[in-house]
Amino acid sequence: MDTCSPKQLNTMKDLTLRQQEILTFIEHYEWRNGYWPSIREIQEKFNFKSTNAVMGHLRALERKEVIERIPGQARTFRINRPDAPEMNEIPEDATEVVDIPVMGDIAAGYPDRVEPAGEIGRLQVDIASAGYSSRRRSFALQVRGDSMVDAEIYEGDMVVIEPRDPHDGDIVAALIDGETTLKRYMKKGNEPPYLKAENKFYPELYPINELTVQGVAKAVVRSL
């Protein structure tokens, strides 16, 4: 633990491959399930024959201050993410911000299979303005195409989707022809609902059934 080459510090990123895998699994598990994994669940995931294999890694992660734990208590983790560097004064009209990891791959239907693709980057979103209500299981989609330009949503933007039933006028993520696209959900009175592209050059209407809508767009995020 000495080493002491001047620049060498435990800067959070000198994790072993194995340690990184463990960490990723823990974070991912929590996202999928809403609660943290137990030691033995981690053990099982990595086919360890002993819980102590997990313990070793957790101790390492704790030593490197990547995670925090409450000794003796079940399924209690805390992930330490790096802080932004300190700088100038914070404006008074600033609002608090959410940290959103953008993960590279996700399983088709998020059940089990999530291999450590790791995160592509992190987005930070002001939560109050994003209007989240669902704590987890929201996800982001990257916009392809120009079908929503009239709503000022452009190619490459990230759209935060919250799974829930749409109301008239909502922008929704809809599964059409096996692909997820953004459309505006329209439902007037007792008429059957339909989906509509927000581009005057795409005056298409789409039929809709129960399973088409995957969620409602809550916010647009454009990374700069």
Partner DNA sequence: CTTGACAATGGACACTTGTTCACCTAAACA
Partner DNA sequence: TGTTTAGGTGAACAAGTGTCCATTGTCAAG
Binding site for DNA (CB under 7 A): 1, 16-19, 38-41, 46-53, 55-58, 60, 69, 71-76
Which candidate in 49, 183, 196, 218 is catalytic?
183
Binds 200, which of a second copy, DNA, none (CB < 5 to 8 A, cut-off by type)?
none
Q: At 2, list the tokens.
A: 């000495």
Count Cβ neighbours within 10 Å for each residue of 101-120 and write b for 16 or more, e otherwise: eebeeeeeeeeeebebeeee
Whether the Cβ atoms of residue 155 and residue 142 lie closer than 8 Å to each other: no
Cβ partners under 8 Å of residue 53, min gap 6: 43, 46
Orientation angle between helical segments 51-63 and 17-33, nearest 10 degrees: 100
The CB density around residue 121, as the number of other CB atoms within 10 Å, is: 10
Min. distance of Cβ 140 from a second copy in angstroms? 3
17 binds, among a second copy, DNA, none (CB under 5 to 8 A by kind): DNA
- Considering the candidates 134, 147, 187, 223, report the single residue annotated as catalytic: 147
Q: x/- string (CB under 8 A) for a second copy, residues 70-89?
A: ---xxxxxxxxxxxxxxxxx
45 is a catalytic site residue: no
CB count in 10 Å sphere of residue 134: 13
Minimum gap (Å) between residue 177 Cβ and DNA: 42
Check residue 222 for interaction with a second copy (CB under 8 A).
yes
Question: From the CB of 52, what's the least distance to a second copy, in Å?
Answer: 20
Annotated catalytic residue 64: no
Binding mask 26-45 for a second copy (x = CB under 8 A): -xx--x-xxxx-x-------
- Considering the rule CB under 8 A, would residue 177 count as an interface residue with a second copy? no
Containing 195, the helix (H) or strand (E) segment is strand 194-196
* Span near a second copy by CB under 8 A; candidates 4-12, 43-51, 56-64, 189-197: 4-12
Question: What is the closest distance, in whole angstroms, from the C-beta atom of residue 75 to a second copy in the complex?
Answer: 4
Contact 183, 150 (CB under 8 A): no
Single-letter amino acid code for the residue at 61: L
Residues carrying an active site annotation: 147, 183
